[in-house]
Structure 1
Amino acid sequence: MEFPETLSAERRALIEDAAAKLQTEYGGGFLGMVLSGSAGRGLETERSDLDVIVVVSPELADKPLPRNTELELLPVTLQHLETLATFGDDQWGYRWSYAWAPTLLDHTGGRIEQAVARQTQLSEDESLAVLSQRLDAWINQTYRSLKSARDGNLLAARMDAVEAIAPFLDVVFALDGQVRPYSKYLTWSLQHHPLASWPTDELLETIEQYLAGNPEAIRQSLRRVQSTELPLVQEIFDSWAAEQYDALRR
């Protein structure tokens, strides 16, 4: 088995023991293991759960896995792992759980590792699907924030700016062909897998400015995304009326 260097010897032993038991009990139906959660990204603490995705054949999908209070075994089929949820589906939120998660064991000739990598990346069509739903939502939320700032309602401006962060990050990551990471892993993701279009320090600082409800930082982020040479982006920005742009641009 291949483990991340950051994983302790004790936790490696737990996983190896579980793998041996699964191999004995399930035989060829036990296809592999993927290390998810904080441990899979070198961020675990002594309080972190040890989450291991166990890839099994379909006939074993509903069979209970061995229980261990120190190890959480999560069964999925290879077919499920190779199926990509589309934006808006119930399963979409789980896609980032596979992002850069190390494959510990693969009895499928590489299919598990390839499926995990594919869950992380967005195709051009997937990126456009995210943008078509989230770009206008982001612009609308920043518009609310900027109007409140203009009118002197700073609390509302900050609250609306905070609500704009989620669609903003959906847009930024989609433009780079990536699934947006969970908030817990945002800094880790940007440091280890930086976006080509937005330097990590600048993006993190922009988020801080959103939290403060800074109108100029919000406008700068709008200008930066609007400069993207993508027809869909231009179409969505162009759908906003001139009088609405007064608040967005000023």
Structure 2
Amino acid sequence: MTNRYEELLARAAADETVLGVILSGSRARGAATEHSDFDVYVVVGERDGAWRTSRTPELDTIVMSPADIADVSDEWQRYSYRGARVLLDRLDGHIAELVRRQATLSPAETDAWVREYLDGYLNFAYRAAKSRRDGRPEAADLDERESVAWFLWTLFALYGRVRPYNKFLRWELDTHPLPAPWTADHLIATLTERPSALLPELERAVRAKGFSDVIDEWDLSLLR
């Protein structure tokens, strides 16, 4: 497996049409196991067929243009650039800047994402509370579980960051800690056991960051 990866790097370095090479995933983040593959973005100016996207159990090669990396509209994909390593940059740092841009939120994005995902989280939390009140525990549990994704998008957006994939949640919190109380142990254990228990802490963080107006649109008496 390592040989295929090294062969890919050598081929890219020898090909002047390759503008950049980016290593992503577990290998880039120092979180690889014996089963981890290599996730590599090969950046080219023109998709002329010399380089093709391919995926194998050992090596994923994704061919992209600078315009592809500059497109930040795919919110879920953006975390793949978090902790990514730029191995080759023939654009004098532009590839590295595009990677950084993907992995962080602008102030405008932070505002929009917090508002969207916080509203979604409160919606699911409210539905769960109503179902629990009305004697429908299964529906309540399903809504509470569904709220977790919205909670994580909200929490990380509050701090200008994209939501990590669940696989990397602990790595993210251990390597790039959030302010108290959002330690990896506390957050993961509570999200796993009873996500709604985090609402008071999230509310305090949201209000401190200036998003009280989103919270105040909801009657949270039932949740409290």
- After TM superposition, the structure 1 = structure 2 runs for residues 19-98 of structure 1, keeping only pairs within 5 Å, are 19-24=9-14, 27-57=15-45, 59-60=46-47, 62-65=49-52, 70-85=58-73, 91-98=74-81
Distance in 2 (alpha carbons) for counterparts of 1:61 and 1:117 = 27
Q: 1:224 aligns with which of 198, 204, 210?
A: 204
Name the amino acid aligned to 1:223: E
* Cα deviations by residue, 1:193-216 (Å, 9 ceiling, x for unpaired): 112364324xx424433433365x
Give the alignment's Cα RMSD to 1 decimal. 2.5
CA apart distance, 1:44 = 1.9
Aligned to 1:208: 189
Q: Is the 8 A contact 2:155 2:202 kept in 1?
A: no
Aligned to 1:247: 222
Aligned to 2:132: 149
Q: Is the 8 A contact 1:100 1:116 kept in 2?
A: no
Aligned to 1:124: 107
Name the amino acid aligned to 2:19: L
Distance in 2 (alpha carbons) for counterparts of 1:166 and 1:66 = 29
CA apart distance, 1:72 = 2.1
1:235 matched to 2:216: no
Distance in 2 (alpha carbons) for counterparts of 1:195 and 1:162 = 22
Aligned to 1:88: none
TM-score, with length taken from structure 2: 0.87
The 1:219/1:129 distance shift into structure 2, 3 A limit, reads: closer
CA apart distance, 1:20 = 2.4
The 1:199/1:226 distance shift into structure 2, 3 A limit, reads: closer
**Counterpart secondary structure, 2:127:** helix
CA apart distance, 1:125 = 0.2
The 1:198/1:112 distance shift into structure 2, 3 A limit, reads: farther
- After TM superposition, the structure 1 = structure 2 runs for residues 191-206 of structure 1, keeping only pairs within 5 Å, are 191-196=174-179, 198-201=181-184, 204-206=185-187
- After TM superposition, the structure 1 = structure 2 runs for residues 108-119 of structure 1, keeping only pairs within 5 Å, are 108-119=91-102
- % of aligned pairs identical? 36
Q: Is the 8 A contact 1:143 1:248 kept in 2?
A: yes
Larger radius of gyration: 1
* Cα deviations by residue, 1:143-200 (Å, 9 ceiling, x for unpaired): 1222333445443332221111111111110100001011111111111111236432
CA apart distance, 1:74 = 1.0
**Counterpart secondary structure, 1:157:** helix
TM-score, with length taken from structure 1: 0.79
Distance in 2 (alpha carbons) for counterparts of 1:163 and 1:138 = 9
Q: Is the 8 A contact 2:158 2:206 kept in 1?
A: no
Structure 2: give runs of 5+ residues left out of the alignment. Answer: none
Distance in 2 (alpha carbons) for counterparts of 1:66 and 1:212 = 40
CA apart distance, 1:226 = 4.1
Distance in 2 (alpha carbons) for counterparts of 1:182 and 1:148 = 29
